[in-house]
Amino acid sequence: MGRQLEIDSVSKRYGEVVALDRMSFSVAAGEVFGFVGSNGAGKTTTMRIALGVLAADSGEVRYSGAVVDQETRRVIGYMPEERGLYPKMKVGEQLTYLARLHGLSSGQARKAVGEWTERLGVAQRVGDEVQKLSLGNQQRVQLAAALVHDPQILVLDEPFSGLDPVAVDVMSKVLLDKAADGVPVVFSSHQLDLVERLCHRVGIVRGGRMVACDTVDALRDGGGVRLVVEAPGAGVGWAEGIAGVTVREHVGARTVLELAEGADDQAVLRAALATGPVSEFRRGRQSLTELFRSVVSEEEQA
């Protein structure tokens, strides 16, 4: 399996509260893994344990088959959920310092700082104190801090939060480039459209457990067939009574239906035409957002 990052049955509890319950997943070299779940589901705890900032009660984190130790952690690029840099230190000095803590020589560190600040669009600000930067630019510096030592593993907690669309594009490109270099990339996000677009595989966590973990395609297929019908004349309840059909969403002229196994989509089309003109009739799969919602609603029922 090569250089993959494995989280193996990691558990953590705080007193009576179970934060992680046998959390397991792995990220292969060159793979972008999206980590999604509600707030408090255990994403940050998992990442902190992977970085050794928190100790697990049980379970292991391995890279290339070996348990991750202090030496391995030095090659991880980490972006904590709680952003943190020295507010009164200059951007360039700060990044150089962090790069050197990861083992770069001062020459290598300066060179890397130059490259990454250029690439992330903050090269003009290397002489400024971090606290004088806008939040968006601080975020870019934070990402530079995770990348400046040329990490062999990337673990990013909410890297897209607080970024403007241009920065989102820069960040997306960086993640895909790193993966193309053979680096396992894990990131958490609430922006599911981004996760869907960037990730090869996605893990959905709930209550400290991995409840779904597969490729984006496989996860979307799992929810059955969707029908999107746009019929301006269709009133509420037009599709009720058709065998094997459930209404998922009905907003304005647009209705999203879920078809059970063997349900007849032509019967749906006939029912729609009976209400008047139909401007769109399309088969599709559930989106990641829909899947995520159904997982969360299971949680509420549980």
Partner 1 sequence: MSGSDVRMSAWGAVGLVAGREVNTRIRSKAFLATTGVTLLVLVAFTLVMKFLSGTGGADATVGFAGQASALEASLKATATSVGQEVETRAVGDEAQGRQQVSDGDLDALLVGDGTSVQVVVKEDLDAQLRTTLTVLAGNIELNRQIVDLGGDPGQVNQRIGQAAIDVRPIEAPRDFNGEQMVLGMVAGILIYMSLLINGQSVAQGVVEEKSSRVVELLLATIQPWQLMAGKVLGIGAVGLLQMGVIGGVGMGLALAVGALTIEVSAAVGTVIWLVVWFLLGFVAYSLVFAALAALVSRQEDVGGVIMPPLTLVILGYVLGISILPGDPGNQLVEVLSMVPLFAPMLMPMRLAMGGVPAWQAGLAVVLVVALIPVLVWLSGRVYRNAVMRSGAKVKLTDALRSA
Q: Considering the rule CB under 8 A, would residue 261 count as an interface residue with partner 1?
A: no
Closest approach of partner 1 to the CB of residue 94, in Å: 9
Rounded to the nearest 10 degrees, how much is the dihedral formed by the CA atoms of 179, 183, 188, 193? 10
Query: What tokens does 126 get?
Result: 């290397």
Which C-beta is closer to partner 1: that of 115 or that of 299? 115
Q: How far is the CB of 277 from partner 1 (least distance, A)?
A: 57
63/116 with CB nearer partner 1:
63
Q: Is 76 in the site for partner 1 (CB under 8 A)?
A: yes
Rule CB under 8 A: say whether 16 interacts with partner 1.
Answer: no
Are 33 and 41 in contact by the 8 Å Cβ rule? The answer is no
Asked if 86 touches partner 1 (CB under 8 A), the answer is yes
Q: Does 301 bind partner 1 (CB under 8 A)?
A: no
- Hey, is 129 helix, strand or coil? strand
| CA 90/CA 96 separation, integer angstroms | 10
Residue 48 CB, nearest distance to partner 1 (Å)? 8
**Which of 24, 60, 62, 74: binder of partner 1 (CB under 8 A)?**
74
Span interacting with partner 1, options 16-24, 101-109, 204-212, 223-231, rule CB under 8 A: 101-109
Most distant CA atoms of the chain, gap in Å: 74
Residue 101 lies near partner 1 (rule: CB under 8 A): yes
Which of residues 62, 83, 190, 250 is near partner 1 by CB under 8 A?
83
Residue 89 within binding range of partner 1, rule CB under 8 A: yes
122-161 residues near partner 1, rule: CB under 8 A: 145, 149, 152
- State yes or no: residue 209 binds partner 1 (CB under 8 A): no
- The nearer residue to partner 1, 48 or 125, going by C-beta atoms, is 48
Structure tokens belonging to residue 121: 């669009």
Q: Quick one: DSSP state of residue 260?
A: P
Q: Applying CB under 8 A, does 162 fall inside the site for partner 1?
A: no
Contact status, residue 10 vs residue 23, Cβ threshold 8 Å: yes
Q: Please give the size of the binding site for partner 1, defined by CB under 8 A.
A: 37
Residue with tokens 């193309």: 180
By C-beta, is 7 or 76 nearer to partner 1? 76
Which residues from 41-70 bind partner 1, rule CB under 8 A?
Answer: 48, 51-54, 63-64, 66, 70
Minimum distance of partner 1 from residue 31's CB (angstroms): 17
Q: Provide, for the chain, the percentages of residues in helix, strand and coil under a 3-state DSSP scheme, each rounded to the nearest 5.
A: 35, 30, 35
Residue 75 found at the interface with partner 1 (CB under 8 A):
yes
- Residue of 53, 74, 77 whose CA lies nearest to 184: 77
Helix (H), strand (E), coil (C) string for 2-29: CCCEEEEEEEEEECCEEEEEEEEEEECC
Query: Considering only CA atoms, which of 171, 226, 223 is closest in space to residue 194?
Result: 171
| Helix ranges, the chain (H) | 43-50, 70-73, 91-101, 106-119, 135-147, 165-180, 192-198, 216-221, 265-274, 288-301
Interface positions with partner 1 (CB under 8 A)? 3, 48, 51-54, 63-64, 66, 70-76, 78, 80, 82-89, 93, 97-98, 100-104, 145, 149, 152
